[in-house]
Amino acid sequence: MSLTFIEHKMKLWLLVSHLVMISFTTCLAVSEEDKGFGPIFEEQPVNTVYPEESPEGKVSLNCRARASPFPVYKWRMNNGDIDLTSDRYSMVGGNLVINNPDKQKDAGIYYCLASNNYGMVRSTEATLSFGYLDPFPPEERPEVRVKEGKGMVLLCDPPYHFPDDLSYRWLLNEFPVFITMDKRRFVSQTNGNLYIANVEASDKGNYSCFVSSPSITKSVFSKFIPLIPLPERTTKPYPADIVVQFKDVYALMGQNVTLECFALGNPVPDIRWRKVLEPMPSTAEISTSGAVLKIFNIQLEDEGTYECEAENIRGKDKYKGRIYVQAYPEWVEHINDTEVDIGSDLYWPCVATGKPIPTIRWLKNGYAYHKGELRLYDVTFENAGMYQCIAENTHGAIYANAELKILALAPTFEMNPMKKKILAAKGGRVIIECKPKAAPKPKFSWSKGTEWLVNSSKVLIWEDGSLEINNITRNDGGIYTCFAENNRGKANSTGTLVITNPTRIILAPINADITVGENATMQCAAAADPALDLTFVWSFNGYVIDFNKENIHYQRNFMLDSNGELLIRNAQLKHAGRYTCTAQTIVDNSSASADLVVRGPPGPPGGLRIEDVRATSVALTWSCGSDNHSPISKYTIQTKTIFSDDWKDAKTDPPIIEGNMEAARAVDLIPWMEYEFRVVATNTLGIGEPSIPSNRIKTDGAAPNVAPSDVGGGGGSNRELTITWAPLSREYHYGNNFGYIVAFKPFDGEEWKKVTVTNPDIGRYVHKDETMRPSTAFQVKVKAFNNKGDGPYSLTAVINSAQDAPSEAPTEVGVKVLSSSEISVHWEHVVEKVVEGYQIRYWAAHDKEAAAHRVQVTSQEYSTRLENLVPDTQYFVEVRACNSAGCGPPSDVIETFTKKAPPSQPPRIISSVRSGSRYIITWDHVVALSNESTVTGYKVLYRPDGQHDGKLYSTHKHSIEVPIPRDGEYVVEVRAHSDGGDGVVSQVKISGASTLSPSLLGLLLPALGILVYLEF
């Protein structure tokens, strides 16, 4: 196709577009019959990532608009027109289809234009980009050697890619075995690296970084990296070291934000998160053993500094970063379709919020038109068209579309004629509306009959054409006509004014005075024009009473005509106030009011203040609240501590606070305690509502006056004296720097030895002395102290120092192998009196002795069973005698071997056949593998379905007969038996005689066998 022809087509399009835009200006007016409208987008293009390796060979950008007449579509790329005559492009409706997309030619910013004879609108912009994920380099990765107990990082180094929304996992040895993240291992989703806090022998293997791009649904993985842990005799602990750190984050409001933090260290560090100086957002969630902080739907108030702290027994590390929250533009007020009169002015508000603050620009019929606030003066038809207000900041843009129509119409009452009959009450006021459709706005005049009306104190013609008549008399009735005229023409409309009798209250409500819980009646009767319906409306303090919602307390009396009596039942303090009865018709109304006084308990005191805070007392002042029409007789001060949710009456000075007082002192308080206070008033009608609680205050400190209880102790390790007590609760600390002084001496000694324990929550002290003899009697006592002084000592208790650990080793230790996973250990009792139990240590030959398992039993036991052992494995076992001081020397180490594992293959069920009153179940013989114990027979468990217990059979055969149950379903479990234990089970379900049908029941082919039901 020649370039000249393409240019001709483009010029033709520009001409058509120009004619579309000016066609609106050729209209003289928009009539009521004009039902057409400009384009309104229903679907707009969105940002699209096209995979470079996509087999589809095409990409579609969508655009659909609703309009009358139907719209014409056009597409632009990077602000240049797209040549739709090229075979690379096609249109489906308004959608643009690009065939065989090419990154060099087609990557860019697109938007759609939709137009008809009312104007043109432009869609939001959409970016078409091309996604790719290159393979990893083919070079082998070097092996990594790390000492056990040390931390390490395996680098992923992902290949070139677009976009950046990659996800990372690590393969171990083969696909699809992926590393499971835990407290010790972490895969960063920021850079893909694998972090191990401290390496263990089990980490040995080959690792590969597995990278996925969800945008283009492609994954690649790197060459394997061999990881070789180097054994260490003892692994040394080292402090936490944060190696995964989060950078300052700029997030959009409403997004989910993820922060990563991971530390190397031995032992594995604990990770904690906090927001500096502020509480954590309510939508924050910590996952992946603490390494990931995710904030969902982040808001502007979530902006701030966040801190990650990693800590183990050797030390801690901290890292801080900041989240900056910004916002996509959002409409506060946007434009809507608007019709204005020709020659008038228009201010079109378009306001958006965002962070940064958005700028505003305008398009008219798809082209740049204006920036900032839009005001149009003396509008003409040329101002008509499709307008778009665009609010944009650095994060994007939002569009508001609207059509502006210019109206030019002669006045017409066709759609809104004047009412044919207007009612007005004698002595009142009436407004007769005149609202023709007209543009520009017409001039108005009125006549009554043949008399023209002019403005006076009696008659007023409003700016909008309405007629107001005041001080109505019978002579004001008659025929009224409204005339409207503008430069396009004129029209009039006529109606009749009818005068009615006024509505008036003839029995008004009167003031009432009652007590809480009593009933009251408000009377109200009225007279009105007999041709009109009369209704009554009651309001309370200016608000209309809803009798449906408030029928518990309010009822109306419908027994008498022209009567609107109000009944108030079980009145409460809230019902006191002004009640207004309004009698109304469709023409006018009349009102009368009365006050209801409700006497009751006092209202809450106000202005509560706390002054002169001391250790055991505070001064309070307050102001008198409402007495609710009954004098206040007394006040009560109530307190609540941080350790209680209940309010309690406080002791006061004076003990009785008279009703005319507004100050008192709360006494006998607990020193160094946080309190809240409130005041309650009382009168002869009851106890009132409490005041608003005071701010929380803390009383001054004082020396403790309570001694610790339950002083005792004893036991412990060799050459130790263990002293225990019950720590005092927080309310008895009475001050800062709280702790305990522990005093002790030999029972017959003279001088007390004293030590200080500074942790207030500890109730235990251990004194070590290599010269201390075992089981020596000591006197002990404990007292509390704080920064104000010491408290009293507790009662003196007598305890004994620790006994010696046993000195003898158990003898005659023996083992018996029970199965592939169990052995029994037995020994002779140690005769020493100090033995309180025995400890059995055992470990596999391939494990280190330091990793031995331990089992504790009481001194009354001389054997135990060791379970969950590894089949066909050499084990070592030793036994020690123990007491509270520790364990004695070990016995001789016993060597033993567990048996081979039981058969792993379940018996394959061949058939289950009913024969008379019994079932015959047959299975294949199980052949053990070379590393399994030889099959010695079979165990069959016959039990009701859903229960664990039943009847157990043993057999050397390959079949068994079981009785048919009377009803219900039973399960038959078959497993092979060997010296190494029982093998894997196969199951068969059989039905009772009452539920079995003699027809063919079917064939069941479970994974563990074949069950055939035969017809008989």
pLDDT digits (tens, 9 = 90+) for 47-103: 999 998 888 888 999 999 998 899 999 999 998 888 888 888 998 889 999 998 988
pLDDT band of 188, cuts 50, 70, 90: very high
Using an 8 Å Cβ cutoff, are 903 and 935 in contact?
A: yes
pLDDT band of 34, cuts 50, 70, 90: low
- The DSSP H or E segment spanning 116 is strand 108-116
Q: What is the pLDDT of residue 1002?
A: 35
% of the chain exceeding 90 in pLDDT: 51
Strands 797-800 and 764-768, how do they pair?
A: unpaired
pLDDT band of 21, cuts 50, 70, 90: very low
> Could you tell me the pTM of the whole model?
0.50
Using an 8 Å Cβ cutoff, are 381 and 25 in contact?
A: yes
Token code pair at residue 342: 């020709």
Count other Cβ atoms within 10 Å, centred on residue 992. 14
Q: What is the pLDDT of residue 988?
A: 84
Token code pair at residue 391: 């609010």
Q: What is the pLDDT of residue 559?
A: 54
- The DSSP H or E segment spanning 227 is strand 225-230
Q: What is the pLDDT of residues 758-814, one digit of tens each?
A: 999 999 999 988 888 888 899 999 999 999 999 999 999 999 888 888 888 899 899
Is residue 571 pLDDT above 80, yes or no? Answer: yes
Q: What is the pLDDT of residue 308?
A: 94
CA dist 508 and 962 (Å) reads 96
CA dist 722 and 717 (Å) reads 9
Q: What is the pLDDT of residue 949?
A: 81
CA dist 46 and 42 (Å) reads 13
Strands 338-341 and 720-726, how do they pair?
A: unpaired
- As a whole number of angstroms, the longest Cα–Cα distance in the chain is 136
Is residue 379 pLDDT above 70, yes or no? Answer: yes
Amino acid at 102: D
Using an 8 Å Cβ cutoff, are 151 and 242 in contact?
A: no
Tally the C-alpha atoms within 13 A of residue 97's C-alpha that lie toward its C-beta.
9
Q: What is the pLDDT of residue 998?
A: 39
CA dist 587 and 584 (Å) reads 8
Q: What is the pLDDT of residue 791?
A: 94
pLDDT band of 509, cuts 50, 70, 90: very high
CA 376 to chain centre: 48
pLDDT band of 945, cuts 50, 70, 90: confident
Q: What is the pLDDT of residues 619-635, one digit of tens each?
A: 999 999 999 999 999 99
Q: What is the pLDDT of residues 525-549, one digit of tens each?
A: 999 999 899 999 999 999 999 999 9
CA dist 242 and 316 (Å) reads 9
Region of poorest pLDDT, from 150-159, 498-507, 782-791, 878-887: 878-887
CA dist 558 and 567 (Å) reads 11
Q: What is the pLDDT of residue 772?
A: 85
Q: What is the pLDDT of residue 595?
A: 96
Query: Whose structure tokens read 């597995």?
Result: 210
According to DSSP, the residues that pair with 411 across neighbouring strands are: none
Length of the chain: 1016
Mean pLDDT of 722-738: 92
CA dist 589 and 505 (Å) reads 9
Q: What is the pLDDT of residue 558?
A: 63
CA dist 735 and 789 (Å) reads 9
Q: What is the pLDDT of residue 52?
A: 86
pLDDT band of 582, cuts 50, 70, 90: very high
Most confident region among 191-195, 561-565, 923-927, 1000-1004 by mean pLDDT: 191-195
Mean pLDDT of 25-50: 71
Domains of the chain (ranges, CATH numbers): 38-131 (2.60.40.10), 143-236 (2.60.40.10), 334-407 (2.60.40.10), 409-496 (2.60.40.10), 504-599 (2.60.40.10), 606-699 (2.60.40.10), 709-801 (2.60.40.10), 811-897 (2.60.40.10), 909-991 (2.60.40.10)
pLDDT band of 994, cuts 50, 70, 90: low
Q: What is the pLDDT of residue 344?
A: 87
Q: What is the pLDDT of residues 700-728, one digit of tens each?
A: 999 999 999 999 988 777 788 999 999 99
Q: Which residue has the higher pLDDT, 831 or 160?
A: 160
Q: What is the pLDDT of residues 308-347, one digit of tens each?
A: 999 888 888 999 999 999 999 999 999 998 989 888 888 9
Q: What is the pLDDT of residue 24?
A: 37
Mean pLDDT of 157-162: 90
Using an 8 Å Cβ cutoff, are 733 and 786 in contact?
A: yes
Is residue 575 pLDDT above 90, yes or no? Answer: yes
Q: What is the pLDDT of residues 194-213, one digit of tens each?
A: 999 998 888 888 999 999 99
Q: What is the pLDDT of residue 23?
A: 38
Is residue 910 pLDDT above 90, yes or no? Answer: no
Token code pair at residue 711: 């002083």
Q: What is the pLDDT of residue 572?
A: 93
Token code pair at residue 989: 């379900």
